[in-house]
Amino acid sequence: MSLHDQMTTVAQHRVLRQLCEALLCEGWASSLAVERDARLSWCFGTVQFRATGRLAAFGRYRIAQGSIVCQSQSQWQSANMDHVLDALDRPSDAKLSLKQDLVQTIWLSDINALALTSAHRRTGLPLDAMETALHEGHPYHPCFKARSGFSKADHLAYGPEFGHEFHLIAVLFNRDLVHESLRSTEFWPDELSTAGWQQLSTKIETLGLDLDRFSLLPVHPWQWQTLQSHPLLQTWLAKGQAIVLGPFGEAYRATQSVRTLMNATTPTRAHVKTAMAMRNTSSLRTLIPETVEIAPMISNWVAQVVASDPLFETHYPIAILPEYAGIIVGRDTELAGHLAAIWRQSPHQLGLPADQMLPFNALALTEEDGDPFIAPWLENHGVDRWVTQLIEVVVLPVWHLMVAHGIGLEAHGQNLILQHDKGWPIGLIARDFHDGVEYVPELLSRPDLCPDLGAINPVFDSAPLDKFHKLSSVDGLRELVMDTLFVFNLADVSDLLHQRFGFSETQFWDRVQKRLHRYAQEHNLTDRQALFDPFKRQIHAESLITRKLDPGRDLYRHLITNSLSTTKEH
């Protein structure tokens, strides 16, 4: 077998594994049995499948890669994605779309595997290097590297794994097309440096353009290339309502989210979240139109609430990376969300050593030599002590914001940065708030600080509850926090500890449960915490793969066993 065939097989096995795991978690099996000898057996439709695996924390099924077989004509054979997709009773167009993303994921994974093979460990890399070194992608969703529309050249140029630098495209748009929230009239000189803005201004003046009539939007080069043939954009260009200035400013590199870019020339300058009409996992990576202009208000609000509570300084430190500017073009047109950008404070502005900040989703990863990323840390600090400290540093700040203040963060692995000292957790940094913060009005500790979003966009005054940030019930807030922080984040860490370090998932989640009980008692919040009912037997989780197979639903959620309510071994 050639090296390419070996890599393809590895990618195919991983995609198949995560596809089956997600389908089992979200209830797509018509029958399912967990057997005593670490075996799972199930049916998709009428086709029977088997694999080595187990039911783990929060209803997550964990399957041994390469172990999935299916029955065909009374014979057992190695399964592939077609066996699974053919067995699912879903419309052919939904299955075809899913298959395209699965095939693209395998293809791009192959490119990475052939180009990025390295024996070097990532432990100790500084933050920006880690953003490009985390090539694994989503640990649950099988379309973890779909990047629809990416060619190989696009992947090499704009994929974070390769760390290549590129420049954004400067485009001027008539102000009638633009909604923006900038922190000052000196926004562009501050962002580009005085010299950089002067250079761009000179170019604009040379073209005989009046800056008072136009707003500047930086556009991701891939997005600009993708949109150029769009009829509405062509109309704007023809009428002089949009004018292309070309590449400008300092160089950027993609972070692991692909569309959020870090400044490669001056790392202390802002990260820019750009809109990309690229589908990855289950979502089109444009920007939700209503959330762009209000991004600074959401960030300011969260920061004010944190600053108003001394416990965030003395007990549960959390640093906020605010989004301080947003620009969107054509907010109310068919291009809504396709031409937009949000500016977020760089982590380097916090003044912390770069090698003491780590994207949180790195904690559950395994290096190429087979050792877990965190293995040296656990050897130095001890598994038991490290787990206790991790819970203290990561869980409690997010939990306190929810329980004490009625605000929920979308605290999944990419949105959190762990501050650590040679692997010892010492602080939490949170980011990405414009569409990842939710609240229940009746539970706000400081309703006076809650921003009037309708003053920016009247849509927020008329929108039904649960459409944007404002929720109708405490259950929705608990679901956001537990889903992102526990089900699709720390559950991957607890699984690694269970599999590789002899620290069972039962031990891990029992420790979390006890700490949350003690937290409430320490701050006289027992009744308040009980409103969230966080220890109930079952809770809802977001149905990520179901979005692909059943795109017409209003809600995408399924019931799972709550690992905070039980001490049974998985």
Dump pLDDT digits (tens) for 157-181.
Answer: 999 999 999 999 999 999 999 999 9
The CATH code of domain 3-129 reads 3.30.310.280
Residues ≥6 apart with Cβ < 8 Å to 249: 167, 168, 170, 192, 196, 200, 218
pTM reported for the whole predicted model: 0.95
The stretch 38-54 carries a mean pLDDT of: 96
- Whether the Cβ atoms of residue 258 and residue 278 lie closer than 8 Å to each other: yes
| Closest-CA residue to 137 (of 239, 265, 330, 280) | 280
Q: Where are the domains of the chain?
A: 3-129, 353-561
Tell me the C-alpha distance between 453 and 469, whole Å.
Answer: 10
pLDDT at 2 over 60: no
The stretch 415-436 carries a mean pLDDT of: 97
At 568, the pLDDT band (50, 70, 90 cuts) reads: very low
pLDDT at 570 over 50: no
What are 246's strand-pairing partners? 170
The two counts, helices (H) then strands (E), for the chain are 21, 24
At 554, the pLDDT band (50, 70, 90 cuts) reads: confident
pLDDT at 119 over 70: no
**Assigned CATH class of 353-561:** mainly alpha
Rounded mean pLDDT of the chain? 94
Confidence at residue 5, expressed as pLDDT on a 0 to 100 scale: 60
At 569, the pLDDT band (50, 70, 90 cuts) reads: very low
| Closest-CA residue to 59 (of 530, 548, 397, 509) | 509
Tell me the C-alpha distance between 287 and 257, whole Å.
Answer: 13
At 7, the pLDDT band (50, 70, 90 cuts) reads: low
Strands 214-219 and 271-274: unpaired
At 120, the pLDDT band (50, 70, 90 cuts) reads: confident
Percent of the chain exceeding pLDDT 90 equals 89
At 194, the pLDDT band (50, 70, 90 cuts) reads: confident
Q: Is 75 exposed, middle or buried (0-12, 13-18, 19+ CB in 10 A)?
A: exposed
H-helix segments, 434-483: 459-462, 474-481
| Closest-CA residue to 186 (of 196, 171, 178) | 196
At 74, the pLDDT band (50, 70, 90 cuts) reads: confident
pLDDT at 555 over 70: yes
Confidence at residue 282, expressed as pLDDT on a 0 to 100 scale: 82
pLDDT at 117 over 80: no
